[in-house]
A and B are shown apart, each in its own frame.
Chain A
Amino acid sequence: MSQAGGQKPAANRMTLQTFKARLGGASKGFKLLKKKRDALKAKFQALLKEIVDTKLKVGEGLKDGAFSLAKAHYASSGDDIASTVIERAKRPSITTKLYPDNVAGVSIPLFKMSYDASKDSSAQTLGVACGGAVINAARETYRKAVVSLVKLASLQTAFHTLDEEIKMTSRRVNALEYVLIPRIEDIIHYITQEMDEQAREEFFRVKKVGRGCASSSSPSLKTEVVEKKKVKLQKEKDEMAAAGKRTEAAIDAPSMLATKKDEDLIF
């Protein structure tokens, strides 16, 4: 990319092509990223509504669960099922699986609940004495609540991941739009300007030198050409000084066309 501010690239056709190619690539990337950001934003909005709905369902589910648990407590009067349950917990009958899902090119995690009834043995013997049915009912209610909880967890992770991704993509889109593309356009503009100027100078030089050769090679005309060259060189020197480049020593060397009388070689 363009180097530290001030150093301009050489103004020739090759660099022009390079930078034009870069501009094309940057604009294409910019369009694609904008599309990606819009797609992500749309998915995000849809997610929001779902999250609110699922949160409500979860609340309901847990309320029912608490209610059925209270009933179970009541039914198994005397026995404290809470501590028994807590003691007996060994292997989970409910486990979750993590799946990566792809949304507009973004990999988001999804949870899937798997229920294995065979591992449920730890709490089976709970209600043998009394209240078995109510305890089972409580278990079922809570299981349903866990289903919606797992769903909510999936939505939440998707929410977080999409949030991050939208922020990053927005940052890139803005960077391209306000920093990179204007910079490249600037450079292209500069190169085309320089090339035009060079063409004009070349044309002018050819005209002048041609005129100088056509007439007699009088010193006055030669001086004219030399003066013009000196002016041009001075302009170039100023330009480069302005651009921060150090003027090369060669420019200060005397021009070969100066009308200096050479000393006669005397043997």
Chain B
Amino acid sequence: MVKTKFVTQSDMKIGLIGDEDTVTGMLLAGIGHVDGQGKKNFLVVDSKVHIKDIEEHFHELTARKDISMILITQDCAELIRRAVDEFSHSAQMIPTVLEIPSKDTPYDPRKDGVMQRVAFFMPSAMASLGVEI
């Protein structure tokens, strides 16, 4: 019987992978964190960043114990779709991966792994999301 007991943990950070504007906004709000070794909990993805780097940073964030959730814009998620899907199907609950829309690309619920699962149980979900957003 796999019973994972969750221990109360405070002071957990929010990871972030996105384009410059999203990261700026979020950092303005105050989720940015740089620790003693210069490790950041965010990554600005522009045209110069390699996909390998994004994937590496994603894996780093998922491995960290003090990160409760990872925000990733949908176009970045598309770039590392394989890694994101692999993580979503693993048994690891923390950190949660959240796909957020970015300024350039509107939110497409069909590509979001979680929404696919939701639509499986509630077929009207896609309609309400696909039509409204």
Contacts and interface: CB of A to CB of B under 8 A. Distances in A.
A157 interface: yes
B39 to A, nearest CB: 12
A49 B124 CA distance: 10
Nearest to B125: A52
Given A51-B118, A59-B133, A161-B93, A153 B28 contact: no
25 contacts: A48-B125, A52-B125, A56-B129, A56-B133, A59-B101, A81-B24, A85-B24, A86-B23, A86-B32, A92-B30, A94-B14, A97-B11, A98-B94, A100-B8, A109-B6, A111-B12, A135-B28, A138-B25, A143-B30, A145-B29, A152-B98, A153-B69, A161-B93, A164-B91, A168-B2
Contacts of B52: none
A62 interface: yes
* B contact face: mostly helix, strand, loop, or mixed: mixed
Q: Which 9 A-B pairs have the closest CB atoms?
A: A89-B32, A93-B30, A100-B6, A142-B29, A153-B69, A98-B9, A82-B24, A92-B33, A97-B10
Most buried by A among B23, B29, B31, B69: B29
Contacts of B14: 92, 94, 96, 146, 149-150
Interface residues of A, number: 60
Nearest to B30: A93
A91 B5 CA distance: 29
Interface in B1-51: 1-14, 20-34, 40-42, 44
B24 A150 contact: no
A99 B24 contact: no
A55 B129 contact: yes
Interface of A: 44-45, 48-49, 51-52, 55-56, 58-59, 62-63, 65-66, 69, 81-82, 85-86, 89-100, 107-109, 111, 114-115, 119-120, 122-123, 135, 138-139, 142-143, 145-146, 149-150, 152-153, 156-157, 159-161, 163-164, 168
Interface string B58-70: 0000000000110
Given A94-B31, A153-B68, A82 B93 contact: no
B40 to A, nearest CB: 7
Given A85-B28, A123-B27, 13 more contacts: A48-B125, A52-B129, A56-B132, A58-B100, A59-B133, A89-B27, A91-B33, A107-B3, A107-B4, A108-B6, A109-B94, A138-B28, A159-B117
A108 B22 CA distance: 29
Task: Say which size band chain B's interface belongs to.
Answer: 35 or more
Contacts of A100: 5-8
Nearest to A53: B128
Nearest to B70: A153
Interface string B70-101: 01000000000000000000010110101011
A95 B118 contact: no
Nearest to B66: A95
A23 B119 CA distance: 40
A52 B117 CA distance: 12
